[in-house]
A = this chain, B = another copy of it.
Amino acid sequence: MRKIDVSLTPFWRICPPSSIVLVTCITQDGKPNIITIGMNMPISAKPPLIAIGVSPRRYSHRLIEETGEFVVNVPPKGLVKQVILCGTISGREHEKFEEAGLTPIAASKVKPPLIKECISHMECRVAAEYKCGDHTLFIGEVVATHINEGYLKGGELDVLKAEPPSHRGRYYFTPHLIFKA
């Protein structure tokens, strides 16, 4: 198999798909917003930390910086169109909860709401913020976690029931089981 050099911008065109999450944040006067985030990963168990990447051009960037809080909501397969919508329009001009038909419900420890229609939720407080090129890496300390009843299997998210979407470019995928170690 021949390897070819590629010079792609962005280079992530040749990365594997990224799991998508819906991150909620809130203005200082209490108006919630949603941003679709592909750049997300857990980074520490103790303390519990999750990393998300947000462009400084995004409306949510300012909200997260101002309040120091956000919630990571894991959508099921059925929300893929809402995921795309929330990644396309801006909270500067749109009421995303209303336009996407999503329902905010109160979080337990932070001000941004959970998204009722999502399956699992991590309430976060910003523990660190790093400028990484054209994005900001927000490191969130996870202060509370929730999951829909019936979606835990063996102490983990039941991935095959939730079918959380991932994407690469305009292609959206759900996880198909190939192996259990």
* A66 to B49 Cα, complex, angstroms: 26
Interface residue tally for chain A (C-beta within 8 Å) = 88
Q: Which B residues touch A62, using CB under 8 A? A: none
Q: A176 touching B179 by the CB < 8 A rule? A: no
Interfacial chain B residues near A16, Cβ < 8 Å: 19-21, 74, 157, 159, 162, 164, 166, 175
Interface majority SS (helix, strand, loop, mixed), chain A: strand
Q: Which of A24-32, A92-100, A146-154 contacts B (4 or more CB under 8 A)?
A: A146-154
- In the complex, which residues 141-174 of chain A have their Cβ closer than 8 Å to any Cβ of chain B? 142, 144-150, 152, 154-157, 159, 162, 164-166, 168-174
Is B134 in contact with A44, judged by CB distance below 8 angstroms?
yes
For A41, list chain B residues within 8 Å (CB): 18, 38-41, 51, 53
Q: Which residues of A contact B (CB under 8 A)?
A: 1-21, 38-51, 53, 74, 77, 80-81, 84, 105, 108, 114, 116, 120-122, 128, 130, 132-135, 137, 139, 142, 144-150, 152, 154-157, 159, 162, 164-166, 168-181
